[in-house]
Amino acid sequence: MKLLYFSPVNWSHIKQRPHFLAEYFAENSVEVTYFSRTPYLKPGCGKQEKINDHLSVCDIPVFPFALKLGCVEKFNNRSLKNLVGQGGYDVIVLGDPRLIDAVPAESRALLVYDCMDKNPDFHAGKVRQMIAGKESELCRRAEKIVCSSNKLKEYLLENYSVEPEKVCVVRNAAADDFLSESEEKHSVPATDLLYVGTVDDWFDWQSVTEFAEKFPQKHIRIVGPVMSDLPSELPGNIELYGKVPHPEVARHIKSASLLMMPFKINPLIEAVDPVKLYEYLALGKRVLAPWWSELEYFKTNPHLSFYSGSSDFAEKASKLLEEPENHCENPDYDFLSRNNWSTRGKAFLSFIRR
């Protein structure tokens, strides 16, 4: 099988679902091209690399401001369409609705939509309407649709009149070797409270900063790229560590007494199946998060606690930090065996091969 995974993020980006799935497919003798597009001068732009015998990376430089200028989007898609059409692929997986314009109408490849987010909700106004229109077209043309959460499946069925039999939920996961990565000799300094992931508009700064001000002796570390404006003044006990390579993520998680997922609950978050929660729980760490319906999947896990509002966050975080850690510090091998990317990749391939 010759498969094109057209990802919304390039190979150099912080490792996400598209990277893990592409690696699994290649490990199982699928000829995979990991395709992406990146505006000129951005990190990873134009990267061409043979990762192994079955996995190649191809990033195509494109002109910026495509969302603002329709003529730029059309120009970019024209060259992409030629490259996609000449590949002779058996399967084309799209991870972003806008990419549908890069698939020739005459393509005979099995078209698959890997829906990871409520994509229109990243935008507003006319751009949001445009993305919704592209998603509608992709749902119509795709023969198979894979969703990363039950909420996303419900959303597509309700909004685009999708036939239920062509939709399957394949959740996110942790890396198969995630626990072995945590055993590397190199360690990082200990911290009380840790978040690992992207910081964007939905990050609950109010809960985090209020806790930091109330408990100035507690150290808080945030690991990952910051994509939105920061509060005007951050308490001195909050450390912005920045982005780290994926093999270092497990060591940071292991260094913390308590892990947090400080999210503002909105329609975008309600559809998320959080990758980081799988990684936190695989290491047997205590986690504090707000409740949304997609977390029903984890509700029986004894390491997961929920908060509602900033005052509740501060109260529960302080209580959890007072408790001894040794009762829940052991890696959860059973959890990881059920929630790794090999398990998810197998389910993904099984569904598209039906």
Tens-place pLDDT, residues 197-242: 999 999 999 999 999 999 999 999 999 999 999 999 999 999 999 9
Question: Quick one: average pLDDT of 108-123?
Answer: 96
pLDDT at 201: 94
**Is 3.40.50.2000 the CATH classification of the domain at 178-338?**
yes
The candidate with the shortest Cα–Cα distance to 22, out of 41, 38, 35, 37, is 35
pLDDT at 153: 98
Q: What is the Cα–Cα distance from 296 to 291, expressed in whole angstroms?
A: 9
Same fold, 2-173+340-352 and 178-338: yes
| Cβ contact 6:77 at 8 Å | no
The candidate with the shortest Cα–Cα distance to 279, out of 303, 299, 312, is 303
Transcribe 230-270 into DSSP letters. PPSS--TTEEEEE---HHHHHHHHHTEEEEE--B---HHHH
Q: Is the predicted pLDDT of residue 281 greater than 90, yes or no?
A: yes
DSSP-derived letter for residue 112 is: E
Verdict on whether the full-model pTM lies above 0.85: yes
Buried b / exposed e over 82-116, threshold 16 CB at 10 Å, is eebbebebebbbbbbbbbbbbbeeeeebbbbbbbb
When mean pLDDT is compared across 72-76, 115-119, 348-352, the lowest value belongs to 72-76
Q: Is the predicted pLDDT of residue 251 greater than 70, yes or no?
A: yes
Q: How does pLDDT run across 21-71, given as a tens digit for each residue?
A: 999 999 999 999 999 999 998 988 999 999 999 999 999 999 999 988 889
pLDDT at 13: 87
| Cβ contact 60:35 at 8 Å | yes
Q: Domain 2-173+340-352: which CATH class? A: alpha beta
pLDDT at 14: 83
Pairing status of strand 91-94 against strand 110-115: parallel
Sheet with strand 48-52: strands edge to edge: 48-52, 55-62, 31-39, 2-6, 91-94, 110-115, 144-147, 167-169
> Which one-letter amino acid corresponds to residue 98?
R
Residue spans of the domains in the chain: they are 2-173+340-352, 178-338
The candidate with the shortest Cα–Cα distance to 273, out of 284, 261, 259, is 261
Q: What is the Cα–Cα distance from 275 to 17, expressed in whole angstroms?
A: 8
Q: Is the predicted pLDDT of residue 78 greater than 90, yes or no?
A: no
Q: How does pLDDT run across 293-346, given as a tens digit for each residue?
A: 999 999 999 999 999 999 999 999 999 999 876 545 689 999 999 999 999 999
Q: Is the predicted pLDDT of residue 138 greater than 90, yes or no?
A: yes
Q: How does pLDDT run across 139-195, given as a tens digit for each residue?
A: 999 999 999 999 999 999 999 999 999 999 999 999 999 988 666 656 789 999 999
pLDDT at 204: 97
Q: What is the Cα–Cα distance from 146 to 166, expressed in whole angstroms?
A: 8
pLDDT at 326: 56
Q: How confident is the model at residue 88 (pLDDT cuts 50, 70, 90)?
A: very high
Q: How does pLDDT run across 89-107, given as a tens digit for each residue?
A: 999 999 999 999 999 999 9
pLDDT at 181: 66
